[in-house]
Amino acid sequence: MWRRPSSEGAHRLAWWLCADDARWAGVTLSAGVSPATIDRLLSGEMEPSGELAAAIADVTAGAVMPMDWARATSAAWDAKPAARAGTAA
């Protein structure tokens, strides 16, 4: 059974990562986390600290903002998040 994303942050990060396979390596290096941590964020097993949420916002150029991690989403994984002005979702 498919689950919905655990948060708007997880949903936006998943879409941002899937837009370009090279982003997986970039986000782990730039944010200083392991791929396992990214998997845990996407699954909802963990939420990022304030520092990590800010690093993800920086790496994604604002496509995933710190406030997104506190927001529930009713969207399914396959529903593209709405783009923010000046960012690629």
Domain positions in the chain are 8-67
Q: In the CATH hierarchy, which fold is given to the domain comprising 8-67? A: 434 Repressor (Amino-terminal Domain) (1.10.260)
pLDDT digits (tens, 9 = 90+) for 56-89: 999 999 999 999 999 999 888 888 998 877 665 5
pLDDT value for 49:
96
Using only the alpha carbons of the chain, give its radius of gyration. Answer: 12
DSSP per-residue codes, 22-84: HHHHHHHHHHT--HHHHHHHHHTS----HHHHHHHHHHTTTSS-GGGGG------TTSPPPPP
pLDDT value for 87:
61
